């Protein structure tokens, strides 16, 4: 993991310290009183002077860069993950991580999230099983036309304003037959996916009638995460791995890659896109 300037980390930690209960009322309060101001702060980019060599000539100019944050999730005192992601939407990241790992099934499974120095301490309800739910074949028979997948890809590109400014983020969209329901940009492709899933879960999205579009390649771990959430169609701008294709076949997931322009490569369960 890449480190941060210590003074910047201390400033970020002071700025991001929060605690809240996941009741509908407190969620609204956090959005308004904490996350609204906080995300405006931490999502800002920074311009720095650089030198560029082009056609043998050196020029001086300013470049725009994204920020990063070192974060972790712990449950019951046990650290489940440490990673680096874009600052902001950490509540959604924690919810999406736990959901996609089979540790929760709904937002109500989480009683509280408390953040201290980048560590999100999560308290789960007593009814949550001690063992994570496995990835099982998706039973939904939901389908989407290739044109819908291409439309979601196009809308994802349009929404990726931070990438256009910096070239430093991945993007993930969760969509249904008519709308993009959740969209996230993040320096981490996995955290982008988890944040998008967290947003969608908090919005009570019907995952069995949805598709996910990713601006990255597709490893098997992402298929496992999305299948646990019930997403039946996964598409990306780049290629899947062979392990991702095999897992998609086993889990009844339609897997599409190289979604660009008017092109869609279908690697598994083409019946979901009318093939």
> What CATH number should be reported for the domain holding residue 239?
3.40.140.10
Model pTM? Answer: 0.84
DSSP string for 119-177: EEEEEE-TTS-SSPPPP----------HHHHHHHHHHHHHH-HHHHHHS--EEEEEE-S
Distance CA 29, CA 158 (A): 30
Q: Is residue 133 part of a domain?
A: no
The sign one gets for the Cα dihedral 162, 166, 171, 176 is positive
Residue finishing a domain among 90, 124, 158: 124
CA distance 252 to 255: 9
Kindly state whether residues 117 and 152 are assigned to the same domain. Answer: no
Same domain? 188 vs 268: yes
DSSP-derived 3-state class of residue 9:
helix
259 and 173, same domain (yes or no): yes
Output the CA torsion 194→30→36→187 (10° steps).
-20
pLDDT at 133: 86
The structure tokens listed for 120 are 């999100």
- Residues 92, 221, 107, CA angle at the centre, nearest 5°? 25
Structure tokens at 44: 């800002």
The tens-digit pLDDT sequence of the chain (275 residues) is 433 333 333 333 333 333 333 433 333 323 322 233 333 344 468 999 999 999 999 999 999 999 999 999 999 999 999 999 999 999 999 999 999 999 999 999 999 999 998 999 999 999 898 889 888 999 999 999 999 999 999 999 999 999 999 999 999 999 999 999 999 999 999 999 999 999 999 999 999 999 999 999 999 999 999 999 999 999 999 999 999 999 999 999 999 999 999 999 999 999 999 99
Residue 192 lies in a domain: yes
Whether residue 80 sits in one domain with residue 115: yes
Q: Name which of 45, 68, 192 is nearest 118 in CA terms.
A: 68
**Whether residues 99 and 24 fall in one domain:** yes
CATH number, domain at 116? Answer: 3.10.20.10
Q: Are strands 46-54 and 180-186 parallel, antiparallel or unpaired?
A: unpaired
Same domain, 165 and 109: no
Let me know if residue 47 belongs to a domain. yes
Q: Which pLDDT does position 65 carry in this prediction? A: 95
pLDDT at 265: 98
Q: Please tell me the predicted confidence (pLDDT) of residue 251.
A: 98
The answer to whether residue 132 sits within a structural domain is: no
CB neighbourhood size of 152 (10 A): 24
In a domain, 137, yes or no: no
Query: Is 18 domain-assigned?
Result: yes
Which domain covers residue 61, as residue numbers?
Answer: 6-124
Name the domain boundary from 124, 158, 191.
124
End residue of a domain, out of 92, 124, 156:
124
User: Are residue 97 and residue 155 in the same domain, yes or no?
Assistant: no
Q: Residue 260 and residue 263: Cα distance in Å, rounded?
A: 5
> What is the distance in angstroms between the CA of the first residue and the CA of the last residue of the chain?
42
- If one counts the domains in the chain, the total is 2
């Amino acid at each position: 993991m890449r480190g941060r300037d210590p003074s910047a980390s201390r400033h970020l930690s002071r700025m991001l310290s929060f605690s809240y209960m996941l009741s509908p009322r407190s969620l609204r309060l956090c959005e308004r009183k904490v996350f609204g101001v906080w995300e405006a702060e931490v999502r800002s980019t920074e311009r720095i002077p650089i030198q560029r060599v082009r056609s043998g000539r050196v020029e001086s100019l300013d470049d725009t860069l994204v920020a990063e944050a070192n974060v972790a999730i712990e449950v019951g005192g046990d650290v489940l993950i440490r990673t680096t992601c874009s600052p902001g939407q950490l509540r959604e990241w924690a919810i999406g991580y736990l959901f996609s790992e089979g540790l929760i099934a709904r937002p109500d499974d989480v009683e509280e999230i408390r953040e201290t120095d980048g560590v999100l301490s999560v308290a789960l309800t007593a009814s949550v099983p001690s063992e994570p739910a496995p990835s099982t074949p998706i039973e939904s028979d939901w389908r989407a036309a290739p044109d819908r997948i291409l439309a979601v890809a196009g809308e994802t590109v349009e929404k990726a304003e931070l990438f256009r400014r910096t070239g430093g983020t991945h993007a993930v969209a969760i969509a249904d037959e008519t709308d993009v329901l959740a969209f996230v940009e993040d320096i981490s492709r996995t955290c982008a996916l988890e944040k998008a899933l967290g947003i969608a879960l908090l919005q009570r999205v019907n995952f069995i009638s949805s598709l996910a579009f990713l601006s990255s390649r597709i490893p098997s771990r992402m298929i496992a995460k999305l299948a646990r959430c019930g997403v039946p169609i996964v598409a990306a701008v780049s290629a899947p791995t062979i392990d991702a294709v095999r897992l998609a076949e086993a889990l009844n997931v339609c897997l599409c890659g190289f979604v660009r322009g008017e092109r869609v490569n279908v690697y598994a369960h083409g019946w979901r896109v009318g093939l």
